[in-house]
Structure 1
Amino acid sequence: MIFSFSATPDFDFMTYFARHIHATIHNGVLEIPESLGQGFIRKLEFGQDFKITIHHYLLIEDLVIKRNASGMGNELITVFFYSNEQSLGIAFNDDRNVTFSQRDDSAVQVTSNDISSTVRFPADQQIHYVVVAIKPGRLKELIHINEPNSVIQTITGTGNSFLFFESMNAETKTLLKNMLAVDMNDTLSNFYMQIKVQELLYLNFHKLSLRESAAHHTINSTDAAKLLQIRNEILKDLSIPPVLKELAGNSAMSESKLKQLFKQTFGSSIYSFYQQARMEEAAFLLKHGKGSVAEVGYEMGFSNLSHFSRLFEKHYGQNPKRYSYS
C-alpha cells in the first residue's frame, strides 16, 4: 500500500490517510480496518501550530508513505520519533533496498518540510512512531534559549532547509511506550500528553543544542538521499573502516562537501560515526551471546584484541568480557 502527500503546513495526514484506506475517524482516533491489520492512529492538537500524531499498528501488507516536498521552505518542522527494533526502510528517494539500520531502527529525525522522504513500514511487524509537527515560531518559543547554537538557530529560523538525525536513548523509548498507555478518556489527558510531548522535544533538542556550532550548509532531497546511502555503506560491513575518497566518489560529492554534510546531519565525523556503530554492534553481539570476546573483536575487524578491549571500555565503561556477563 502506498500513500503519497505533499508536506504543506495545513495538510492533515490522518484525514487524508483515512480516506485513502476507507476508514473513519472518531474522537481523534483512526482505527485500522481489520482488512488491513490492527491498531490505530491518534491525533492531538495543542493549537494550530503544534500537533502530533501517534501511530501504533500492525499491518498485513507493507505500507509506503511518500512525503513530497512542499516547495514552501521552512514553514513547518517535522520531528519523527521512531521506536522499534524491527527493520524500517527509510530513504529520500525511491530506492527500495535502503534500510535505516542493522539492529535497531529507533531514531529521531528532524526535518524541514521542503525535503522529500519515503518510509517503508514492513508487514507483520509492530510499528510505533510519533510525529510532531510544529511551526518554527512556536518551537522557538518553547525552547527559549538565549544563545542557541547554529543547529537550533537553523531549525527555528525561517527559510532554512535541514535534516538532522539523533540516536534515541532509553529514556526517550520509555517515554514513547508510556504515552501509549495513557487513558485518553481522562479529562486531563490532553494536558498530560502535551507535557509528555514537550518532554520528548526537550530530550531531543537538548542533544542537538550540544552539537558543535558551525555554519549551516543547505541540504536538499538529493543530498539527503546520498547521505543515507553513505550511512548504509558504512554500516554494511563494520569490519572495514570507511575510506573518504571512495565514499565521496560513490555519492558524487566532493570530499569536503561530504564531510561537512555528514557531520552536520548525523552529529559526528564519518570515522567517529563508524567507530560508534562498531562498538554498538559489538555490544549487541556480546550481550546476545553471538560470540566470544575474541570472535566479536575479529568480526568487527580488530586484529589486536587488547586494542578492541580498550576502545570498548572507553565507550561502555566496562571491558568486553565483563559487559557480556552484566
Structure 2
Amino acid sequence: MENMAPKYKVFNPKNENCTVCAVLNSIYRSDSFQIETEIPKQFGKGYYQRIIVKPSMEINISDVTFFERMTMVGGQGNPQYCFAFCLGDQFRWRLEGNKEEYEIECGENYIFSGNQVKSICSFNPGQRFWGVSIQLDSEVIKSLIHYMEKEHSCTGLLGSSIFYKRKFSYNIKRILNDISHCPYRDNIKRIYLEGKILELIGVYMDELIFEKGSRHSSVKLSSSDMEALHKARRVLDENIISPPTIGELARLVCLNEYKLKNGFKGLFGMPVHAYVIDKRLEMARFLLEYKKLGVTEAVLHVGYNDASHFAEKFRKKYGFNPSEYTKSL
C-alpha cells in the first residue's frame, strides 16, 4: 500500500545505535496496514502501534514507560495535520531551532499543522507516555476548516500558530476508546477506523465552533462579555459534578446574572443549567461504557441524587434508558 512520504524517522542524539529508535523506525518504515511492537524489556515496558488506514490517514497508539531517561528527535517534512491526544502523564517537547517548550497534560490534545520541523522529546524514568495520534493530509483539514469558517461566519478556528491545544471532552474520549479497542480485522477494521476518524474530526470541529461561540446568535456581546462567558464555561467544565450557582458563577466572571444567563445561551446555544446536564450525561455514558460502572455508581459519580431523573435525561439525549444501554454493551 502506498504510504505518506517521506517516512517519519527518529534518532537518539546521545546514542546513534539506540535500540529503541531502531525498533520505532522499523514501524515507521513499514507499509503494513497494522504493525505493533513492544519496547525491549531492558529499556522499559509498553508498546507502539501504527495503523495505516489509507495513504492520507494513519493512527499511532503508544503506551510506554522507560526505566531510564530517554531523548529522541524525530520529524518529517510533508504537510499534514497531527491530532494528538494525551491519556497518560504530562509530556513536554520542543521544536528544533526553537527554545520554546510545549507542554500537554492528561486530558488535553494538540494539533500540529503545516510543515512540522523536527521535534525533540525527553522521557523521564517512570513517566507513562500514553496517547493516540492521528495524522491527516493537510489539504483535507484545510478544506474542512475553510468550509466550517464560511458556514458559521467565523475565522481562525485553529489560530495562526502551528500549535493548538485544548482539553478534550468525554465524547472525544469515547471515540478514542473505540479506535484503540476496535473489535474488527482487515478491511472491516479499515472501514471502521476511517469512519471513527471522520466522526472524531466532526465532533472535534463542532465542539471547537461551540467553544468559539461561532454559532449564529442574536445576542450582541462586547469583547469583555465574550471573554467572561468563555471563562464561565471553563469554570463549569472544571466543576461539572458540583457546579457553582448562577449567582456564584456571575460573581466569579464579573457579570450580572441577566447577562450571564442570556449571554451564555446566545453564545453557546443552551442555558447554563442545560449545559451542565449535557456534560454530566456525556461523562455518565463514558463511565458506563468504558469504566464499567453500574448505573447507580455512575449517577452518583456525575453529581445526580435522583436516579429516575437521571434516567429521564439520559433517555432524552441518547434514546434509551441507562440500564438498557449497559445491557447492550
Q: TM-score, normalised by structure 2?
A: 0.52
Name the residue aligned to 1:22.
22
- Which one of 5, 8, 31 corresponds to residue 10 of structure 1? 5
Offset from partner CA, 1:283-314 (integer Å, 9 cap, x none): 39x87xxxxx9xxx9xxxxxxxx736975995
Cα gap change, 1:63/1:205 in structure 2, threshold over 3 Å: closer, same or farther?
Answer: farther
Q: Percent identity?
A: 15
Secondary structure of the equivalent of 2:151?
A: coil
1:61-140 superposed matches below 5 A = 61-64=68-71, 66=73, 70=77, 75-84=79-88, 86-90=89-93, 93-94=98-99, 99-101=103-105, 105-114=106-115, 118-140=120-142
Secondary structure of the equivalent of 1:171?
A: helix
Does residue 35 (structure 1) correspond to residue 30 (structure 2)? The answer is: no
Contact kept in structure 2, 1:83 and 1:176, CA below 8 Å? no
- In the aligned structure 2, how far is the partner of 1:15 from the partner of 1:118? 10
Shift of 1:202: 1.5
Secondary structure of the equivalent of 2:182?
A: coil
- In the aligned structure 2, how far is the partner of 1:199 from the partner of 1:62? 37
- In the aligned structure 2, how far is the partner of 1:323 from the partner of 1:46? 37
Name the residue aligned to 2:66.
59
Shift of 1:168: 0.3
Contact kept in structure 1, 2:10 and 2:72, CA below 8 Å? no
Secondary structure of the equivalent of 2:51?
A: strand
Secondary structure of the equivalent of 1:199?
A: helix
Does residue 151 (structure 1) correspond to residue 169 (structure 2)? The answer is: no
Q: Which letter does structure 2 place at the counterpart of 1:166? A: R
Contact kept in structure 1, 2:8 and 2:76, CA below 8 Å? no
- In the aligned structure 1, how far is the partner of 2:231 from the partner of 2:139? 36
Name the residue aligned to 1:216.
none
Name the residue aligned to 2:248.
307
Contact kept in structure 2, 1:90 and 1:99, CA below 8 Å? yes
- In the aligned structure 2, how far is the partner of 1:186 from the partner of 1:66? 32
- In the aligned structure 1, how far is the partner of 2:120 from the partner of 2:231? 25
Contact kept in structure 2, 1:151 and 1:209, CA below 8 Å? no
- In the aligned structure 1, how far is the partner of 2:198 from the partner of 2:302? 36
Secondary structure of the equivalent of 2:22?
A: coil
Shift of 1:188: 1.3
Does residue 48 (structure 1) correspond to residue 55 (structure 2)? The answer is: yes
Shift of 1:45: 2.3
Contact kept in structure 2, 1:53 and 1:131, CA below 8 Å? yes
Offset from partner CA, 1:165-224 (integer Å, 9 cap, x none): 2320011112212322224645511211111112221121222344367xxxxxxxxxxx
Contact kept in structure 2, 1:151 and 1:208, CA below 8 Å? no
Contact kept in structure 1, 2:6 and 2:76, CA below 8 Å? no
- In the aligned structure 2, how far is the partner of 1:169 from the partner of 1:186? 29
Contact kept in structure 2, 1:81 and 1:129, CA below 8 Å? yes
- In the aligned structure 2, how far is the partner of 1:94 from the partner of 1:65? 16
Identify the structure with bigger relative contact order (alpha carbons < 8 Å, sequence gap 6+): 1
Q: Which letter does structure 2 place at the counterpart of 1:45? A: I
Q: Which letter does structure 2 place at the counterpart of 1:54? A: I
- In the aligned structure 1, how far is the partner of 2:68 from the partner of 2:127? 10
- In the aligned structure 2, how far is the partner of 1:63 from the partner of 1:184? 34
- In the aligned structure 2, how far is the partner of 1:120 from the partner of 1:82? 15
Offset from partner CA, 1:17-59 (integer Å, 9 cap, x none): 9975332548532412222223322222233322222223333
Name the residue aligned to 2:297.
none
Secondary structure of the equivalent of 1:196?
A: helix
Q: Which letter does structure 1 place at the counterpart of 2:5? A: D
Name the residue aligned to 1:229.
none
5+ residue gaps, structure 1, are: 1-8, 214-259, 261-267, 288-292, 298-305
5+ residue gaps, structure 2, are: 13-17, 215-222, 258-271, 278-299, 305-329
Cα gap change, 1:83/1:30 in structure 2, threshold over 3 Å: closer, same or farther?
Answer: same
Name the residue aligned to 1:192.
192
- In the aligned structure 2, how far is the partner of 1:280 from the partner of 1:212? 15
Q: Which letter does structure 2 place at the counterpart of 1:87? A: Q
Greater Cα radius of gyration, structure 1 or 2:
2
Q: Between Structure 1 and Structure 2, how many residues are aligned?
A: 233
Contact kept in structure 1, 2:9 and 2:74, CA below 8 Å? no
